[in-house]
Amino acid sequence: MTSTRITVKGERPYDVVVGTGVLAELPGLLGDEVRTVAVVHPAGLPEISRPVCGAIESAGYSVVALPVPDGERAKSVDVAAELWSAFGRYGVTRSDAVVGVGGGATTDLAGFAAATWLRGVKVVQVPTTLLGMVDAAVGGKTGINTPEGKNLVGSFHPPSGVLCDLATLVSVPRDDYVGGLAEVIKGGFIADPTILLLIEDDPEGARLPEGRHTRALIERKIQVKADVVGADLRESGVRETLNYGHTLAHAIERVEDYRMRHGEAVAIGMVYAAELSHLSGHAPLSLVQRTRDILAAVGLPTAYRHDAWPELRDHMRVDKKNRGTRRRFVILDDVAKVTRLEDPPEELLEEAYRKIAR
């Protein structure tokens, strides 16, 4: 199978390579200056780092494998500090590199550690989950969580490249794979309606790494993000559209203490955003129903606990899109027609939540 190269433009352009056997490109992304490579990977999945470490070692680099906690537990200041200490012990210099291998939480952490070590060293991302490939590892936005919220501490640090080996998706647990579909579906609603048509054509196939539209869905979602990030790296304008559904999603993750999959929270958040779009007079009711239908067809949730609103409302007040006391929501006028809702009244927000409460 041939590989596809999707270029993320901007001040520091790089390629996202999609295909099988793409690890052969890793040494070329590291370059001649690099001597030591720190490979950050989930401790519970050491096997996913072995091919990466092997490719780097065979190219003549010195490799340091650094396991971190699985999932969102990795994205803390304590774990970041442990990585900084390890970089110091193993002599990672400004001309060396970090490679992040794993899901979105691992690549977020690896990117943040690289961005902050010696004020920025080279990073290459090797996502091994659907969520990591189509969203977290692409775009150069890195971050960790705090007790107050998700991704509130971070930086913009574009990678030197992203390698998406589709073969790794076969071993991803089915629920995790389906969770990643939420970000794919989001890309369809905010920018590329063909994504929605492909899923509606074969929702069961969309749930499978071997589905007949799988590669097209992945490449189209990566292209959506590449286009947005290339135009707005630092989230000062159009990049905010990528946060569709995420205001409530991040609040749900906080309430769940990050035990819920990110994609499941985003799915619920998209239904909420669609309801908010309709209730505020922007989107037709058909958009709400289509959102529910597509998410349900692939097995994603569309509702959340009826008694959670007070806590969710408080967490949404600490959101990176807010400006002072003014809350801002990304909503839709229709498919691929994104707008913003500025400081909506409390009653409207609560009414939208009642529509998704079970």
- Residues designated as active site: 119, 141, 183, 225, 235, 239, 243, 246, 250, 262
Question: 183 a known binding residue?
Answer: yes
The answer to whether 291 is annotated as binding is: no
- The response to whether 188 counts as a known ligand-binding position is no
- 194 is an annotated ligand-binding site residue: no
Residue 206 labeled ligand binder: no
Residue 164: phi and psi, rounded to 5, are: -110, 100
70 is in an annotated binding site: yes
Site of tokens 């010195």: 62
**What is the SS3 assignment for 104?**
helix
Instruction: Find out whether 91 is annotated in a ligand binding site.
Output: no
Does 104 carry a binding-site annotation? yes
Residue 9 assigned ligand-binding role: no
* Residue 293 counted as an annotated binding residue: no
Label residue 320 exposed, middle or buried (CB < 10 Å: 0-12, 13-18, 19+). Answer: middle
Q: Does residue 107 have a known ligand-binding role?
A: yes
Annotated ligand binding at 74? The verdict is yes
Helix/strand/coil (H, E, C) string of 35-94? CEEEEEEECCCHHHCHHHHHHHHHCCCEEEEEEECCHHHHCCHHHHHHHHHHHHHCCCCC
Contact 35, 96 (CB under 8 A): yes
Q: Establish whether 342 is an annotated binding residue.
A: no
Count of residues for the chain?
358
Residue 105 counted as an annotated binding residue: yes
Question: In angstroms, rounded to a whole number, what is the distance separating the alpha carbons of residues 180 and 166?
Answer: 14
Helices 246-255 and 262-279 pack at an angle, to 10 degrees, of: 130
* Helices (H) then strands (E): counts for the chain: 14, 11
Host H or E run for residue 334: strand 328-334
| Other Cβ atoms within 10 Å of 308 Cβ, number | 16
Residue numbering of the annotated binding site: 70-75, 104-108, 128-129, 141, 150, 183, 246, 262
Residue numbering of the annotated binding site for NAD(+): 70-75, 104-108, 128-129, 141, 150
Residue numbering of the annotated binding site for Zn(2+): 183, 246, 262
